[in-house]
Each structure stands twice: as C-alpha cells, then as structure tokens.
Amino acid sequence: MTVTPILQPGQIETAAGDIPELRLPPATLYSHRAQRLRQLAEGHSLGDYLHFLAVLVECQQRALDHHPAIPGPDARLLNRCHQDAMPPLAPPGRRRHPHWQEVARFLAEVMYDQVPVGGRDAFSPLLDPKKEWLEAQADSLLGQKFAGLNLATAPFIGAALQVQWTCLARQLEAQQVTRPGESILCPVCGGHPVASVIRTDGPASGLRYLHCALCGSEWHMVRSKCSQCDNSKGLTYYGIEGRKEFTRAEACPACRTYLKVISQDKGVRVDPVADDLATLALDLLMGEKEFAKSGLNFFMLPGKDES
C-alpha cells in the first residue's frame, strides 16, 4: 500500500485561470468507454466481465446513436432551476420517457447470447417485462434502495437509464446549468459521481472533475477537498503498492469515505466507469481500512441497502 499527501486547497486551480465548471457528455461517451474496457480486460482477473461489459456499453452507444428525440425541460423550468441552483434533469422532478424500457429490452436481447446457457434465466424479467416492475426497479436503482433490486438485471436497467439521461444531458448547454448547493451531486441530474478524473486535455488540464454515474456529465471539484463533506484536512491517497495504476483512492478522515481519483495520463484515455471497475482490489483495501465508498457504479452495485 502506498500513501501520498495531497496539495492544499486551490493550489492547482489558482493558476488555472478560467475554469470550465461543467463538461456535458460527448456523443462518443460509450464507444470510448467500450474501448477502455477492452484495454483494461487484457490479462485482468476480471477480464471476462470487463469484456462482457464492453459489449454491453457498445450496445449503449448504438442505442444513444439511434435514440429518438424526447422532450427535455422547457425554458421556464431551466430558468427556475438555474436561479435555485437545482439540477434540471433530477429524476424525482421528471417522468421517465417510456423509451428507456425499449432500450433495456434491446440491451437484454443482444446480451442474451453473451452469457452461458445456465445464466440466461436472469434475462427473463427484461425479455418479457412487466412495465410496473421495470419502473419500480428503476425507482429503486435511482433512489439507491439496493435491497429492493434484482441484482441480475440491475446493470441492464442502469445502462438503459444512463442512455436516456445522457441523451437528455446532450440537449442542454453548459450555461443553462448552475452548480448545486451540494458539490457531491451532479449539477445536471443530481446523480452521484462514480469517480473523479484529473484531466489533461485543453483548458481542463490539471483540473479534477467528478463524473456522474447517471448522465455522464462532469463538474469541477478542487483537488484537495473531500467531495462528500468538503473537508480539506488530512486527506490522503491510497494505492496498491508495486502497481503502476492511474487510479488512487482519496480518503477523508472526517467522514470516513473515499472516492477514486483517476489520472488521465498522456497517451491513455481513461474512463471513470471502466477504470473504477478495473480497480476492485483498491475497493477491498479501503474496506479493510474501514472507509466507505462514496462513488456509485451501476455495473458493480452493493448487495444491500446502504441508504
């Protein structure tokens, strides 16, 4: 295990000038994620699962590319959310468009042949779905009520919801969104981050962004402050000793939580969802240290209610 002290608040950001506060999801979000999953899968102990997810994420890209136009928030709602610092796409404030259920079925149909025959029964609720059941599962997932989830189908439901919220987020412009009162929450949809990324591209170079687990947007967060409780004292990075990793865990002694920080090195296009999954050993280490994970990954959910 390696432990590294971090800089004081604002040391990186002070010299950055104008900071792009919000990065809306790109059109190729899922195709890039699939490429990173395949890259990480080579020689990995979770290689089979990472390859499986790469196929699933490629299907997400197909679904996003062919997603029909669906109504987003109108100008009046956008203005009110901007004034009140509220996320305009927060799930509790909007009805889900029923197309997300079609995406869930599409994902299940394509992935059915990717699993052994003995594991295909898990797809039954998605291949012959009851709308009420699907909506209840979506409510549980978005509300982080994990005890009520069917964990076998949850990744596909989460993937379908991601596609819809990414589609909606891409209809917005950055200036229509304002930072919420709680920095831990996505300013676009109110979702929780999966991890944070230190970017090296363009005006965001050297800055840290939290990456939303739901809509794929990213929002700026200073590098030396706990994203969960805003504490800036005694933070440390934990890593696996002897490994050349792009990912470390930023641990807060005040709230006893951690969030992974992924460095976007030159020549390597990291992805928060993929790199989070590929560093499960780090999660196990942090559990031994009695730190709770504040990040959320729909492809690796806890098996109990942690709300």
pLDDT above 90 covers what percent of the chain?
Answer: 69
Judged against a pLDDT cut of 80, whether residue 303 lies above it is answered with no
**Tell me, what's the pLDDT at 14?**
38
Residues 255-292: pLDDT tens digits? 999 999 999 876 678 999 999 999 999 999 999 999 99
**Tell me, what's the pLDDT at 114?**
86
| Number of CB atoms found within 10 A of residue 70's CB | 14
Structure tokens at 114: 């990717």
Minimum mean pLDDT range among 125-134, 211-220, 247-256: 125-134
pLDDT bracket for residue 92 (50, 70, 90)? confident
Query: Across all residues in the chain, what is the average pLDDT?
Result: 88
**Tell me, what's the pLDDT at 3?**
44
Structure tokens at 265: 């090195």
**Tell me, what's the pLDDT at 99?**
96
Q: What is the mean pLDDT of residues 159-186?
A: 91
Q: State the SS3 of 222-258.
A: CCCCCCCCCCCCCCEEEECCCCCCCEEEEEECCCCEE
- Select the more confidently predicted residue: 304 or 186: 186
- CA gap 89, 215 in Å, rounded: 9
Domains of the chain: 2-21+180-293 (3.90.1670.10), 28-169 (3.90.1670.10)
Largest CA distance in the chain: 56
- Burial, 166: exposed, middle or buried (Cβ in 10 Å; 0-12, 13-18, 19+)? buried
pTM above threshold 0.85: yes
Judged against a pLDDT cut of 50, whether residue 12 lies above it is answered with no
Judged against a pLDDT cut of 50, whether residue 83 lies above it is answered with yes
